Amino acid sequence: MAWASGQRLQGGKYTIEQKLGEGGFCVTYRARDNNGRKVVIKTLNETVQSRPDFAKFQQDFLNEALRLAKCSHPHIVRVDEVIQEGQLWCIVMEYIDGEDLASRIENKGALQEVEALRYIQQMGEALTVVHNNGLLHRDVKPQNIMLRSGKSEAVLIDFGIAREFTPNLTQTHTQMLSDGFAPIEQYDKRAKRGAYTDVYALAATLYSLLTEEVPTLAPLRAISMSFLEPKEINPNISNRVNQAILKGMEIKPENRPQTMQEWMELLGMETVSITSAPSSTQTSSLKLISLLGVNYTKLRDFLAAENWIGANLETSNVLLSIACSRKGRWLDSESIARIPCEDLRIIDQLWVKYSNGHFGFSVQKRIWESVDGNVNKFGNDVGWRKNNSWIKYAQFTFSLNAPQGHLPEYLEVLGFVWKSGWFGAYWDGELSRIDSFVTKLEKCNIQ
């Protein structure tokens, strides 16, 4: 049974608009609810409905729908409800207005490393939640990662072949897979699966985002078929990211990182296990008072309210109070060295969390590394330079529409913060403070 445009479900609660797509097991439709809101409705397709073992597929679909509904995370497609229409179980999910990452790189070419890593970190956090709920996605690829229109937010979709897994248990699995992104064990119905299965796929996805190429199929690589390292295709890829991709794409499962967190650490990231938008109760797990006695509640509140101007000023004030022995002094190499790692880490975690990975020291540091220390290129990338000139404070963009890494910034706040810029004196050629701050971030392991 297929649904036609205009068909009404659940007594008129949902109206089918069009068929969006069909896979090996499922079919998806775009629909509207009785409030005019767009939704996606997924159910088993006609081929599966005609199978003699349809009842088993139906039960598996229902069980997995209920598990997926528990995977609540900003970067996982939201499940609104599970319904039964006639004899069919269906999942009603949010409709994401945007494009998938495969379309993005097809239309605009390979992503810059810092942008690709932003989406990969979001997916790593999402998959950590999936794995913690006893599920594997098993089909992570650029086509299954949607970008919300107008936002730098990625959302993991299409759990059509997601399956429950038990670590170290051999189970029979269907052989639905995506060549180039599927690891070797997915080609064997009886091979063990684990979080490392999705690690391979996410590493392969990062490979594709940075090179515009689909990696060589795992079975061909296993028989010594030529496989180009991503850096051989795109020399702008950093050594660290290149090595992390290769480790995540090891042919033998036991040679890969065994959890998503382990692989993310190779990229210099930490996954943040949050299940919904930040709230006061969730952020209570973040330390807000450092050993030095600095209280970051005010900064947290500014960021939670998306008051980026207030948050930027508070960050500047805090850094000055910690590092500078007398009022009216900017941060220099000497004062930078006095900032405790714990305080830098708290500030960074708050900025990263409330900007959804758009702002923060760690974001700026990754951009700095991606431009190999070219200070003008750094300024261009974070939006601190326009038309070959460093902009004034009044020209900064205090919103999420700003480039990644645009905030926090300290060019002219109060007239005495960091004489000429975040990393130091851009205009007089002094780069010692750039090195000082980068060195400090590295020493503190803020990635």
What's the pLDDT tens digit per position in 138-179? 899 999 999 988 877 899 988 755 555 445 544 544 556 788
Last residue of a domain, one of 94, 122, 148: 94
User: pLDDT by residue (tens digit) across 399-435?
Assistant: 898 999 999 875 433 333 333 333 333 333 335 556 6
pLDDT band for position 350 (cuts 50, 70, 90): very high
Rounded Cα–Cα distance for residues 152 and 159 (Å): 22
Residues 254 and 385 occupy one common structural domain: no
Which pLDDT belongs to residue 329? Answer: 52
> Do 438 and 307 sit in the same domain of this protein?
yes
Residues 297 and 368 in one domain: yes
List CB contacts of 27: < 8 A, sequence separation 6 or more. Answer: 2, 19, 21, 42, 43, 44, 45, 46
Distance of alpha carbon 26 from alpha carbon 3, whole angstroms: 13
Residue 225 has pLDDT above 80, yes or no: no
pLDDT score for 432: 53
Q: Are residues 246 and 126 in the same domain?
A: yes
Q: What's the CATH code of the domain at 30?
A: 3.30.200.20
- Both 207 and 75 in one domain: the answer is no
325's CB contacts (< 8 A; 6+ apart) are: none
Q: Do 80 and 115 fall within a single domain? A: no
Domain membership flag for residue 210: yes
pLDDT at residue 437 is higher than 80: no
In a domain, 90, yes or no: yes
Number of domains in the chain: 3
Average pLDDT over residues 370-389: 85
**Do 84 and 185 sit in the same domain of this protein?**
no
> What range does the domain containing 359 cover?
282-443
pLDDT in tens, 229-273: 999 999 999 999 999 999 999 999 999 999 999 999 898 775 444
Q: What is the pLDDT of residue 21?
A: 87
State the Cα–Cα distance between residues 353 and 415, nearest whole angstrom: 28
Q: Quick one: 71 and 129 in the same domain?
A: no
Considering the domain boundaries, does residue 290 fall inside one? yes
Please identify, among 94, 112, 129, the residue that sits at the C-terminal boundary of a domain.
94
Q: Which helix (H) or strand (E) holds 270?
A: none
What pLDDT does 273 receive?
43
Asked whether residue 31 falls in the same domain as residue 56, the answer is yes
Same-domain status, 32 and 143: no
- CB burial of residue 150 (10 Å; 0-12, 13-18, 19+): exposed
Q: Could you give phi then psi for residue 58, rounded to 5 degrees?
A: -60, -45
Q: Does residue 3 lie in a domain region?
A: no
Q: Decide which of 52, 71, 94 is a domain's last residue.
A: 94
* 286 DSSP 8-state letter: S
> What does pLDDT average to over the chain?
82
Q: Are residues 102 and 159 in the same domain?
A: yes
